[in-house]
Every structure is written in structure tokens, then in C-alpha cells.
Structure 1
Amino acid sequence: MTVSAVSSVDHGVVSVSVVVFNPDQQLLAQTFASLAQAGAVLARAETGTSIHLYLVDNGGLPDMRSSLAELSVAGIECTVLAGHGNIGYGRGHNLAIEQASSHYHLVLNPDVDLEAGALVAAMGFLTAHPEAGLLAPAIVDDAGRLQYLCRQYPTLIDLFVRGFLPHAARRLFDARLARYEMRAQINERDTIWDPPIVSGCFMLFRTSVLKKLAGFDARYFLYFEDYDLSLRAHDVARVVYAPSVRVLHHGGGASRKGLAHIRMFLASAFKFYNRFGWKWL
């Protein structure tokens, strides 16, 4: 998209990949509506910026023609990648990453809503900080409460308590969870450099960094692919938590999604620890 406003920054193309498998149609429509709004705000603020959405259909994509039309009106091009079956979250994103020729690439969940100014704030931050290769935003839940989705390296106890214990029982481990979730550092004001792990629901990369990393590790079907990619990103660039960028996340944990998700979670955890090292306590 091209706008007539004068700007000293040319961000080029921002590519976005969204992977879906039997998605909630309403949440997906909200995600696309928020992307359209954020894209429109970005277009008014910057010269020469265009957005290209890769919608990766791992199966069960509902009729989204009205949402895609809304994106088109906002100047956002869309490519639908389909017919490959359910190949997993990371491999789905990799299909888009392989095609992307953008300056920045956003890995986005289909249950995340961007605030209107999110992309403007993100582009401004990355322009001012060329050392940053991966940006994570402030993430709030439906009630507007901050989600602590930056992480220290997880112990097995951390994962079990955070993922599977009921809320009342988790209180017994509050100090441990506070350390794991970096609650003393993460807030809605302060920029934090180099958090070990950031959430895969919104990962904004310089595409050159993401290409250097070869995207997600295809050995993970679901879960821990973002942990793996976060840790590897530190080898080639700086990772930053930038609360000036804000999004809303509607998601939930594996234990609340049934036995199949618990099995996938455990299988991915095994692969993660085998690669990066086991940490029990």
C-alpha cells in the first residue's frame, strides 16, 4: 500500500503468517479485523509500507471471505496456503516464512487482537533499535490483565505447576512461578532486553534473522516450538520485550484443551529438553 504522507522511514514489506486448524471463526475474524485496523493506522503513519498476510490452512478453515475482503480494503494482500493437511504449527508457519521476502515478519496466533497502534509502535521501536531481531509485545487477557508470557528457562516443576495444577493449588508455588514468569521484571512500562523465552502468539522478527534461523524447528508438532525458536534467536540477534506494543490474547493452556493436547505438550517437552538440557528443580 502507498500513502501520500511524508515519512523519514520506509519499512518496506511486513509479512504476517497465521496458521489455523479448525479455528474459532469469530476469534479469527476479530484477529483479521484488528490487523486491518492496525495496518490502516500504519499506512497513515508511514510511507511505502505494505502488509502481506499468509493464511496457512492446516484444515477446517471456515468461510472467511468477508474478513479477507476487509483486509483487502485496508490494502493488505493475502495468500492462502492450503492442501497440505495438518502439518503442525511450526511447519505451517515455515511455509509462509519460506515465501516471505519482507523486511519484517510477524508470527501471529489466530486468537490475538492487535491494538490499533501496535504496528506503528513496533516499526518505530525496531527502526530505533537495529540490534533487536525479535520483538515481543505486552500481552493482556480479556479482562485487560497483563499476561506474563516471557519466560525463564523452564524446570519440569515449573511446567507441571503452570500447565496442569488447578489455580488454588498453584498458589503454593507462587514464588517459583513468579521467577519463571519474570513477574518482577515484566510490566507495562519498562522495555526488557533479552528475556530468555517469549511467547509464540506474537513474534515480530526481522525477516533476515528468521531466515538465518530457518524458521521453526519442524520436529515440534505443537507446543515448545516458540521456546526453541526464542532460545536460538539469542544466537543471532537481541530479543526484546517492548510494552509500547500491545495485543490481546484469548488463548488457554494445554490442560484445558483435552488429553490430545496434553499428549502433544508432553511429547514436545521431551524434544525440547533433549535438545537444550533437562532441568528438574
Structure 2
Amino acid sequence: MFKPDQETVLETIRSLRQALQFVSLKRVKVYLIDNTPVISSYDWLLEAMEGVSVEIINGQGNVGFGRANNIVADAVGKYHLILNPDVDMEREALANAIAFMEAHGDCGLLTPQAFNPDGTRQYLCKRYPTVLDLLLRGFAPRGVKQLFAARLDRYEMRDQIGDAVFWNPPIISGCFMFFRGDVFQKAGGFDPRYLLYFEDFDVSLRAAKLAQIAYVPKVRIIHAGGNASRKGWWHLRQFARSAWIFFSTHGLRFV
């Protein structure tokens, strides 16, 4: 996390703590990785996680989402959850994720069914993007988006993603990535070249070479993030920089 909103993070922690009560794993370790340069106190975090084994990692500065997650790459267990600080889980989300992994040994990465805070569905699975897809989705006015609605729906896999398990979506969101631990390690974690954005696209493609990826609708979350184009010029620059790294690595498609 980076300069976290305390109430948002507390909601995430409460949902995580509740979800942990339903899992059958004997040992669980939670790592809270903070990229904020200076934090005065973590008492509010530790109080919210009382009774759970927690390690707070800070002091590295704003090294980016991927590099921050890689700090604990050597310490992952049988399963490894990447969780954004703006995600609320249903209480049985983790239990359902573990049960699915236990039943499907070839699944190495799982993505949930997601909803916006207003209750509308959020689509975390994507087809391989083109430059046009990204420009339309991130920056086009509403009227232009409506003209290309069918194309954007296809990019978000709305024709495939629903209330049934779907195997091997090309790309999934980094807000909630439930890895089999050895798959995360064999993939090498996140590519440290990405400071922000597209690191989840990249690791999805690399993980798919090692194991199957599954969209599992019984694992349900609420995610409040997104909308890079509305966050200012710094975010826009990072988006463009990361898009260039991604396309130069995996192949550029314009339309």
C-alpha cells in the first residue's frame, strides 16, 4: 500500500480477518507491505489484526506494486494471496478459493468474481489488449465508449465471464490474485521494471505458461480501485510507461 486511506484499509483488514476464520489452513502469515516513505504509527493496523500473525514491511519507499510484493517471494507458503488494500472479501471467499485449488491440482492462479461498491459487476478478466482497447477504455468520453461498447465488452470478456467457472482467461487483475505458492515462485514473481500498472498483465501471461488460471465466481469480492485516467498526470505517465514495457515485451497490437 502507499499513503493508505485508514478507513479503506481497515475495511479490507476486517474482511480478511473474517475470511481467515473460515479457512482450514494450520498456519497463516499476513504481510502488510507499506511503500509510504514515512508512517508515524501502525497501532491501528496491529489492533485490527489482533490474533493473526502479521509482519509489517516498510522503509523501502515507493518501489512500486510489483517490487513490493516480491519482497516476500521467498517466504510464500502453499498458497499466496496478493490483495489490494481496497478490496473487501465475502467471508467464505478464501475458504472457497482453497477448496477450488485443492480440487483442481492443475490450477495455479485464481481470480474472483468482483463487484463495484455500488453493486454492479466488475470484470477482472481481460483478453490481450490492443492500444485502441486501452485508449478507449481509459480515456474516451462516454459517448465514444458507447459507440465501441461491443468492442470493450469483448475486451472485458463479458461474453465469457459470468456465474460459471471459466478456465484460462488471458489476463487477470492484480487486485486479488490467489496463487499456488510454487507457481508464484517459478514465475519469478512480478517483473520489477513496472512501477505501477500492467505488472498483473505481465505475470498473468507468465503464470499461464506454468499452470492453468481459473475465474471462480464462488470467490466474491468488492473492489473500489481503478480509473487511472482520473488520478492525475503522474498516474497517466506511469500508465504509458508500463504499457510500453508490456507491449515491447509481449508484442504490440494496435487494433
Smaller-chain TM-score range? over 0.9
Aligned partners of 1:162 and 1:170 also within 8 Å: yes
Any unmatched runs of 5+ in structure 2?
none
- Larger RCO, structures 1/2 (Cα 8 Å, 6+ apart): 2
Query: 1:182 matched to which residue of 2?
Result: 157
The alpha-carbon deviation at position 62 of structure 1 amounts to 6.4
- TM-score relative to the length of structure 1: 0.88
Give per-residue Cα distances to partners, 1:18-46, cap 9 Å, x unaligned: xx11111111111001001001122xxx2
1:124-154 CA deviation, whole Å, 9 max, x = no partner?
Answer: 1100001100000001010111101200000
CA–CA distance in 2 between the matches of 1:211 and 1:131?
Answer: 16
Conserved in 1, the CA contact under 8 Å of 2:19 and 2:92?
yes
The 3 A distance-change label for structure 1 pair 144 and 50 is farther
Runs of 4+ with >6 A deviation: none
Residue identity over aligned pairs, in percent, reads: 45
- Code of the residue aligned with 2:56 in structure 1: it is V
Residue by residue over 1:190-223, the C-alpha shift from the partner in whole angstroms, topping out at 9 and shown as x without a partner, is 1000000000000000010000011000010100
Query: In the alignment, does 2:186 pair up with 1:208?
Result: no
**Partner Cα distance (2:4, 2:146) in 1:** 32
Within the candidate set 92, 96, 117, 2:68 is matched to 92
| 1:66 match | 44
Deviations 1:205-264 (A, max 9, x none): 001000001100001010000000000111100000000100110112110111100000
CA distance in 1, matches of 2:30, 2:142: 37
* Structure 1 unpaired stretches of 5+: 1-19
TM-score norm. by structure 2 comes to 0.96
Letter paired with 1:267: R
Q: Whole-Å Cα distance in 1 between the matches of residues 216 and 96 of structure 2?
A: 9
Instruction: Give the equivalent residue in structure 2 for 1:56.
Output: 33
Structure 2 counterpart of 1:268, from 234, 242, 251: 242
Q: Which residue in 1 is equivalent to 2:6?
A: 25
| 8 Å CA contact 2:89, 2:222 repeated in 1 | yes
Cα distance change of structure 1 residues 67 and 57 upon mapping to structure 2, 3 Å threshold: closer
> Residues 168, 136 of structure 1: CA spacing in aligned structure 2 closer, same or farther, 3 A cutoff?
same
SS in 2 for 1:195: coil
The 5 Å alignment of 1:131-170 reads 131-170=106-145
Q: What is the CA–CA distance in structure 2 between the aligned matches of 1:64 and 1:161, rounded to whole Å?
A: 40
Secondary structure of the corresponding residue to residue 221 of structure 1: coil
Q: Deviations over 1:162-187 (max 9, x none)?
A: 11113332111101101100001111
Cα–Cα, structure 1 residues 184 and 81, in superposed 2: closer, same or farther, change >3 Å? same
RMSD: 1.2
CA distance, structure 2, for counterparts of residue 39 and residue 64 of structure 1 = 21
Aligned length: 254
* Residue identity opposite 1:215 in structure 2: G
| Counterpart AA for 1:180 | Y
> CA–CA distance in 1 between the matches of 2:166 and 2:234?
35
Alignment partner of 2:50: what SS?
Answer: helix
